[in-house]
Amino acid sequence: MPESSPVGGVGWQQGAVNAFQLGFQAGTADPSTTTGGTQIYCKQVAGVSQLFSINAAGTVTQLTPSSGGSVTWANDLSGSTSSNQWVANISGNGGGGGAVVIQGSSATSLQWAPAQANPLITQQNPITDVAPTPFTIQAAGAILSAATNRVGADLQLLPGNGATTNGTPGKVRVALQAFSGTGTQQNFQITQSGTRVLELGGYNSGTTLGGVWCGPAAPTNANVALLGDGSTQTIVSAPSGGNGYLQMTASTTIAQWSNAGFCVGSGTPPMGGGSGNVFALVSVTTPPTSAPAGGLAMWANSGSPGSLGIYATGIQAHRLVSGFKLSQDAPTTDVATTNLTIQAQSALAGATVNRAGGSINVTSGTGATTNGSSGSIVHTIPAPTGTGTYGQLSLSSGASQSFVVGAYNNGVSYAGLWLGSGAVANTNPAILGNGSTLVQVNIPSSGGTGYLGVDGSTGILAWTSAGIQIGQTTGFGGGSGVLGLSNATTIPTSNPSGGGVAYEASGTLTHRGPGGCVEQFAAAGQGTVNTQLLHHYRVCATLHTTNSTAATIYTYTLPASGNHTVTLETVLQTTNTATLANSGTDRLEGNFSTNATTATRIGTDAHLYQSNVTQTSLSYSPTGNTVNIQVQGPTAAADHTIWVDIYEN
């Protein structure tokens, strides 16, 4: 090349070794672009010649400083001390590429002037359709053969400090470019040894939600780990088909979740085959030993399945909940149903002081302060279907049934109460009633005994199929449908008011009236009984006559067994309905014997007392093993009444 050659307003001159001096003729406009190259030219700006470059894309860059000064070209600026030198292009070592080294121990930083707005370190875009290459900033690595200092240097991105007073430091901001058309949003990615371990960016290729992706899998909407919008939601998400975990020290699992549900505890979640919104608890390692502060504690006791433990004072439904219910789900296959059990606290097995178990308290709601009615405790048993039967409310002591309440005869018209361990049946309810017309206290069987007692004793009243007994002894003398009285424990000594008192005194039926009159109605008997009957009873009869012909008013039958005697003592009262003054009375006594077939008069009948004998009289007429008691009244109409005392021996 010649030493100087003017070409198109440009000239050069060879100077010192490896240096050229170039001269440009200033123009007034930018030249046209050329394909595949960059042009350098001179142009007048505000009366000052300035040097510019223009590339094939038409980008114009001013190469000389606007304040003027000298420009020096060299292939190496090493050691230069010029305060006004500039670099348009760094081509690497000797122009052959490679690292550009800033040497010298005093060169610690690249620094822009304070007035420079938004300084930028960037890589030039390709000018042809080739794949862009990564732009890398790397800290110093350790010497590969180092024996002591084996740790590479940290890479620090430092924002600017804030002011000394009330200063706010700047941010470290990664600005991701927006995609266009059918492009996709790219993220901030962290790799480890070339493998993706973390990405941060916009969720669903948008800017409303930010997401964090973990692990080597390519980020998708289905495998985001953390998602949020900074105002209304933060979501920790498990990948589709996988599990999410909350852990301590990245090893101890506190909770886990999946498409099946959420589980507190480590190990295999006990979901029981459930899916979707299942809440599970792994068996507790150590249950609570003290009261939780400011809340409650829940846990699962061991078992398959385990029981739910809760450290709380109660379970309270919200006031707006209608019909709060605690129930067990029905089986989905034809298997036997299981029992739902509510159990109070048990005493410590080895306790020596507090040995009583806790009680179960069922309390209805209280009424209002004014005119309030308390709620009821309602036990509802669903109606059976088809040939099914009603259930009952049953109380048991240990394993033995002690109390049952339910429908009687499998219906709703009557309710029954059953006591004891016997099987419930229509024949053995203790109490039976319908709430309107019937309340029945019942003996479980025909051979049983019912009692009314005090203080758990049976000394007030007893009844069997034979009769009712007042007192403890149920001796009915072989009778049935009778009333028995036990001897009074304490014979009354004061007068009752408003009525009388009947009682047994040494086997004698006795009555004490409010006036103090004590009268015996029946004797207990004394002495040795051989063939004697010891019978004394009274009958009464009535008859209406219209003439004076004798008529039978009562027929007495002597004992069916032979060799007995009988005394009849009859009192007759006759009222003449036409003329009361013609009324009268008669008292007749007679004695008879029997051989079981024939009644025979003994001696002569005796009229003990007669009044107006011409108007009325009594007579005995034995016939067979009977005695006809006859009356003979006036010729006019008359009404007759007799009272007969019968003494059988």
Query: Secondary structure of 465-523 in the HEC alphabet?
Result: CCEEEECCCCCCCCCCCEEEECECCCCCCCCCCCCCEEEEECCEEEEECCCCCEEEEEC
- Tokens describing residue 158: 């430092």
pTM of the full structure: 0.55
Q: Are 280 and 268 in contact (CB under 8 A)?
A: no
Residue 533's identity, in one-letter code, is L
Strands of the sheet with 564-576, listed across from one edge: 535-545, 638-648, 564-576, 584-594, 599-611
Q: Do residues 43 and 98 make contact, with C-beta atoms less than 8 angstroms apart? A: no
Q: Could you give the angle at the alpha carbon of 220 between the alpha carbons of 217 and 226, nearest 5°?
A: 90
Encoding tokens for residue 25?
């003729």
State residue 4's pLDDT score: 38
- Divide the 649 residues of the chain into consecutive groups of 10 and give the mean pLDDT of each group: 40 49 74 82 78 80 63 54 62 66 70 82 89 89 94 91 94 88 88 92 87 91 91 90 86 87 90 88 90 88 86 85 83 89 90 92 91 89 87 82 86 86 84 89 79 76 84 77 86 93 88 91 83 91 95 95 94 94 95 94 95 92 96 94 96
Q: What's the chain's length in residues?
A: 649
- The CA distance from 223 to 241, in Å, is 10
Six token digits for residue 230: 């900074």
Q: Beta-strand (E) ranges in 377-430?
A: 392-397, 400-407, 415-419
Q: How far apart are CA 470 and CA 169, in angstroms?
A: 103
pLDDT, position 231: 93
Strand ranges across the sheet with 482-485: 450-452, 461-463, 467-470, 482-485
Q: What angle do CA 22, 92, 59 make, to 5 degrees?
A: 60
Which amino acid appears at position 32 of this protein? S
Which structural domains are found in the chain, ordered by start? 1-77 (no CATH), 188-282 (no CATH), 392-442 (no CATH), 535-648 (2.60.40)
Spatial distance between the Cα atoms of 413 and 436, rounded to a whole number of angstroms: 10
Q: What pLDDT score was predicted for residue 76?
A: 60
Which residues have CB under 8 Å from 508's CB, separation 6+? 520, 522, 523, 524
Report residue 637 as tokens.
Answer: 């109409």
